[in-house]
């Protein structure tokens, strides 16, 4: 552990003793050393002080979360010397001691050391005091008035070992990082605004301790009281009124969270603002990490972080590891939530929080604030910066129906401001949201459904029957692109459909299977405004599947839409493709139950992805025009959908996955396996081309948090080797 010893102006170093100790002169009546140590540290600290020109009467201040207060000081009667041994713990967010060596001018020897082991520390302490009969060895850890700080890391249960490792590794990495210079220029760069109402004193103590532990300058904490009726709360707030960087605003009337927050915003001085719930905490080094990102991305307008979920006793219950900014996901769930960091100037511009959105006032603010901000100026910081205490007692938890109603009202308003009339339905989780862009029948665009196929009577008959008999979409054509069927029953099926439906056609040609070629051939035949690629081994489940996919094109810049696909046993086959899985690309959460929600219930709402499977892929006409044909030469069979999606993403198009268009997929039944022979060799070539063309071995997919592994369909949390920069 690197100890940082900072003397005040009443101390002057004058040399070094023969034993290697420093010689100092106390020149006033309040000399003081501040001893700082890192978040992760060696627990045993030894301070030795020996008078040279007389006896000394030191005093030690132990910070319990409220700074160096007199009530937390321990004084000692005059002696020739002292050796103090202190156990400061292996980690913690209170990271400093203050030692006043004497109350009068005096020369003295001074030494500070740290040890990992208590026995080694005690051995060293006894060694230092040996031969000094009038000196005293003091174990500070045994002084009755010494108590551990109230702010501490959450404890972990055995099953959460990976969570513990991830959290501690992040905090250790942040502890060793540098603090940006602008934090020390004297101006306030960040205001932390907290609406308070009858908050338990324990929560306020822990909140304040977490703020004071940040170790950066230029920050202020604003506690805006919403006319609390609790004497304990009011007494605590009064005691901390005007306490350095803490401001307390007493509002005369109870008007709710939004009004109390706005009152705090009105007195905020920081150029940036973040919000903290009155029962939550700031994680170690969070504000230093935030400052670093602000310094790095000077043009950004918004930052948001990851969260640790804790219970009332600060036991860690889990992590909220978020993807990058995704307005489609945000329309279904406020996944951004805690530690949203705003420019104060824009908050002023939009009029702060709106009243009438109780329980979802932060969601409404977020939607209004982010409108018209370029996505590259919205940064996700993958750092567990916020401790979210889930006790079931928050407003939105107790009044969930009202909070959900207000969230949907905020979403409707958001789309209305962009000229889109919508309604909001419940998602697969009833408190989450599904935006409906339903249109009159005559406005549904024509869709060309392209089905590459060969033989496989049972499968092609089923998919065609599902489209024509069990799909409620009013305006489509079906094009079967057949690379050489020789089954007379299949050919007869085509002829029957051709006679029965004037929106059905088929094209038979004989060639080696090349999915990309089949797609391009079908696109050239298409007359629809948009194209839907559909494998012949797809089975229709719900009538509105195609309407759902088409309406997803209404999300801004969307060029591709993918569906939720299930295996016949009702487990998940496709919930989006993560680029970079296994150095290539792969489906996440494959084989999970149909109702599996995934992290933050993301699989119960729509998401933006870097890629979706070509087995059921809707492509807008505009995207087809600008991205061009599928790559027949490099990706004839495997990874052609990954290649196309990555090309579309590079061209500025959004790729959306929706769980509300759900289909069965009898995967690759008609084509057979790629595991042997020539097919295996071709598959290996396709993989190598994907790595070479799209650098998938180093690709960091914005749809998945960088804290997750990318070597398996079910991601797990991994210990980071370095801090992840914002994305």
pLDDT tens digit string along 464-497? 999 999 999 999 999 999 999 999 999 999 999 9
Q: State the Cα–Cα distance between residues 261 and 192, nearest whole angstrom.
A: 11
Q: State the Cα–Cα distance between residues 662 and 660, nearest whole angstrom.
A: 6
User: Is 310:207 a contact under the CB 8 Å cutoff?
Assistant: no
Q: What is the mean pLDDT of residues 614-629?
A: 98
Q: Are strands 33-36 and 96-100 parallel, antiparallel or unpaired?
A: antiparallel
pLDDT over 90 for what percent of the chain?
A: 73
Q: What is the mean pLDDT of residues 699-724?
A: 93
Residue 119: the pLDDT is 82
SS3 category, 670: coil
Instruction: Give the contacts of 608 (CB within 8 A, at least 6 positions apart).
Output: 326, 327, 328, 329, 654, 655, 656, 657, 703
Q: State the Cα–Cα distance between residues 316 and 384, nearest whole angstrom.
A: 12
Residue 2: the pLDDT is 67
User: Is 480:507 a contact under the CB 8 Å cutoff?
Assistant: yes
- Residue owning tokens 């109230």: 150
Residue 245: the pLDDT is 86
pLDDT tens digit string along 292-320? 999 999 999 999 999 999 988 888 888 99
Asked whether the predicted pLDDT for residue 675 surpasses 70, the reply is no
Q: State the Cα–Cα distance between residues 500 and 40, nearest whole angstrom.
A: 74
Task: State the sign of the Cα–Cα–Cα–Cα dihedral 697, 703, 708, 712.
Answer: negative
Asked whether the predicted pLDDT for residue 196 surpasses 60, the reply is yes
Q: What's this model's pTM, rounded to 2 decimal places?
A: 0.80
Q: State the Cα–Cα distance between residues 258 and 33, nearest whole angstrom.
A: 43
Report residue 145's pLDDT band, with 50, 70 and 90 as the boundaries. Answer: very low
Report residue 671's pLDDT band, with 50, 70 and 90 as the boundaries. Answer: very low
Residue 104: the pLDDT is 86
| Average pLDDT of every residue of the chain | 91
């Amino acid at each position: 552990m690197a100890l940082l010893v900072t003397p005040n102006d009443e101390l002057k170093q004058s040399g070094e003793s023969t034993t290697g100790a420093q010689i100092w002169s106390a020149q006033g009546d309040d000399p003081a050393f501040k001893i700082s140590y890192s978040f992760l540290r060696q627990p045993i600290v030894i301070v030795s002080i020996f008078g040279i020109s007389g006896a000394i009467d030191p005093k030690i201040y132990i910070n319990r979360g409220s700074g160096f207060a007199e009530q937390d000081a321990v004084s000692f009667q005059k002696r020739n010397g002292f050796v103090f041994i202190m156990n400061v713990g292996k980690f913690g967010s209170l990271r400093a001691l203050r030692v006043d060596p004497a109350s009068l001018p005096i020369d003295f020897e001074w030494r500070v050391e740290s040890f990992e082991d208590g026995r080694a520390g005690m051995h060293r302490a006894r060694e230092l005091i040996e031969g000094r009969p009038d000196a005293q060895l003091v174990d500070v850890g045994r002084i009755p008035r010494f108590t551990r700080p109230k702010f501490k890391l959450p404890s972990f249960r055995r099953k959460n070992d990976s969570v513990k490792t991830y959290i501690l590794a992040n905090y250790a990495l942040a502890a060793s990082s540098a603090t940006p210079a602008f934090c020390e220029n004297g101006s306030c760069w960040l205001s932390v605004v907290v609406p308070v109402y009858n908050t338990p004193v324990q929560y306020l103590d822990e909140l304040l301790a977490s703020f004071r532990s940040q170790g950066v300058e230029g920050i202020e904490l604003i506690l805006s009281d919403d006319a609390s009726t609790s004497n304990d709360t009011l007494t605590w707030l009064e005691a901390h009124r005007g306490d350095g960087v803490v401001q307390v605003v007493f509002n005369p009337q109870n008007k709710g969270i939004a009004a109390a927050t706005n009152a705090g915003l009105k007195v905020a001085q920081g150029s940036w603002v973040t919000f903290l719930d009155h029962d939550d905490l700031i994680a170690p080094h969070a504000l230093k990490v935030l400052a670093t990102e602000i310094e790095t991305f000077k043009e950004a307008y918004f930052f948001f972080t990851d969260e640790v979920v804790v219970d009332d006793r600060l036991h860690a219950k889990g992590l909220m590891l978020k993807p990058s900014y995704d307005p489609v996901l945000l329309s279904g769930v406020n996944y951004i939530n805690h530690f949203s960091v705003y420019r104060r100037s824009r908050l002023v511009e939009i009029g702060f929080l709106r009243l009438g959105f109780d329980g979802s006032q932060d969601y409404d603010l977020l939607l209004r604030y982010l409108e018209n901000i370029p996505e590259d100026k919205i940064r996700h910081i993958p750092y567990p910066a916020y401790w979210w205490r889930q006790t079931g007692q928050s407003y939105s938890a107790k009044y969930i129906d009202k909070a959900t109603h207000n969230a949907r009202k905020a979403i409707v308003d958001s789309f209305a401001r962009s000229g889109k009339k919508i309604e909001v339905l419940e998602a697969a989780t009833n408190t989450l949201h599904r935006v409906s862009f339903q249109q009159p029948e005559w406005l549904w665009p024509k869709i060309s459904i392209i089905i590459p196929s060969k033989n496989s009577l049972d499968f092609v008959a089923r998919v065609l029957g599902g489209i024509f008999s069990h799909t409620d979409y009013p305006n489509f054509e079906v094009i079967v692109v057949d690379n050489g069927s020789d089954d007379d029953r299949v050919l007869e099926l085509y002829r029957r459909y051709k006679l029965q439906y004037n929106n059905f056609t088929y094209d038979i040609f004989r060639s080696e299977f090349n999915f990309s070629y089949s797609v391009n051939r079908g696109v050239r035949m298409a007359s629809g405004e948009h194209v839907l690629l559909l494998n012949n081994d797809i089975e229709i489940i719900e009538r509105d599947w195609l309407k759902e996919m088409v309406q997803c094109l209404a999300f801004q810049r969307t060029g591709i839409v993918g569906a939720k696909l299930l295996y016949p046993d009702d487990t998940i086959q496709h919930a989006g493709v993560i680029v970079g899985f296994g150095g290539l690309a792969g489906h996440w959460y494959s084989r999970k139950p149909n109702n599996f929600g995934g992290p933050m219930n993301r699989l119960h709402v729509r998401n933006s992805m870097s890629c979706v499977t070509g087995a059921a892929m809707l492509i807008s006409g505009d995207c087809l025009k600008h991205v061009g044909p599928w790559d027949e030469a490099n990706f004839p069979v495997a990874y052609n959908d990954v290649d196309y999606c990555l090309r579309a993403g590079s061209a500025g198009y959004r790729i959306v996955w929706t769980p509300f268009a759900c289909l069965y997929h009898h995967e690759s039944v008609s084509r057979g396996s790629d595991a042997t022979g020539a097919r295996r060799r071709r598959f290996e070539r396709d993989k190598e081309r994907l790595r070479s063309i799209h650098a998938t071995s180093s690709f960091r997919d914005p749809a998945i948090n960088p804290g997750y592994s990318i070597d398996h369909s079910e991601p797990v949390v991994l210990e980071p080797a370095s801090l992840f920069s914002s994305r």
